[in-house]
């Protein structure tokens, strides 16, 4: 059974770990880029890190900065996934 490199379970686990750590990271530690928030309904949206810093300051953690956001599709606050994109 040949499997292309990089599709093993270990990589999935480390990817998930990185996302979990992003949650508790302070905004100032992210060098630009955007935060991609995916709602429980499947809708996702990008917010520039700079916009979050302008609003909350760079000492605020990612999870706190995103906690009050509403989904543009369903109006809910059920955040399914938060990830950082360059």
Question: Which residue in the set 13, 41, 54, 67 belongs to the binding site for Zn ion (CB under 5 A)?
Answer: 41
What is the CB neighbour count within 10 angstroms for residue 65?
A: 22
Phi/psi of residue 68, nearest 5 degrees: -90, 5
Stretch that binds Zn ion, among 2-10, 18-26, 44-52, 75-83 (CB under 5 A): 75-83
Is 74 a binding residue for Zn ion by CB under 5 A? The answer is: yes
Interface with Zn ion (CB under 5 A), residue from 13, 73, 77, 81: 73
Is position 53 an interface residue for Zn ion (rule: CB under 5 A)?
no
Q: Which residues contact Zn ion by CB under 5 A?
A: 39, 41, 43, 71, 73-74, 76
């Amino acid at each position: 059974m040949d499997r292309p490199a990089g599709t093993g379970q270990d990589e999935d686990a480390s990817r998930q770990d990185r996302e979990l750590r992003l949650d508790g990271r302070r905004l100032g530690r992210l060098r630009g880029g955007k935060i991609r928030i995916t709602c429980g309904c499947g809708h996702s949206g990008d917010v520039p890190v700079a916009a979050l810093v302008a609003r909350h300051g760079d000492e605020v953690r990612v999870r706190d900065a995103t906690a009050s956001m509403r989904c543009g599709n369903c109006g809910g606050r059920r955040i399914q996934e938060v990830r950082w994109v360059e």
